[in-house]
Amino acid sequence: METTLLLVKPDGVQRGLVGEILGRVERRGLRLAALKLMHVPRTLAEQHYAIHKGKPFYNGLIDYIVSAPVVAMAWSGNKAVEAVRQVLGATNPTQAAPGTVRADFAIDIGRNLTHGSDSAENGAAEVALWFAKSELQDWKSASAAWVFE
């Protein structure tokens, strides 16, 4: 069982796409473990995007992510990281497969609506960064037997 972080970035929140994105992941069969609407503190943004520090787009990315509310979600399930990334599509919306969130609703890589963890280990680390353990809910879905073998 994996846990992964999904952020609906400021552009997705401002454009009213939170429900659409949440629904697509939920219908995929994953279980929502936590959700919150928040203004991202600069320190959290810098921790989350530390891998990009020193890159030309880093300062703009930090300024952008703290500019307006985001919706942070933790999802769990079998192959949760891969499933969320398939729903979201490629980071660059112009390269995203048709039917994915980014292909359907985004054009520019700098306004690609979402962030999804890129590996199981990063998913666990990112969820721990964005959510306190007490915020995560462990519950059983009645439909799980109809989704997973």
Contact 73, 7 (CB under 8 A): yes
Residue type, 137: Q
Is 52 a known active-site residue? no
The two three-digit tokens of residue 145, written as one number: 């037997």
The two three-digit tokens of residue 120, written as one number: 């199981």
Q: Which of 39, 48, 52, 115 is catalytic?
A: 115
CA–CA separation, 119 vs 16, rounded Å? 28
Task: List the catalytic residues.
Answer: 115
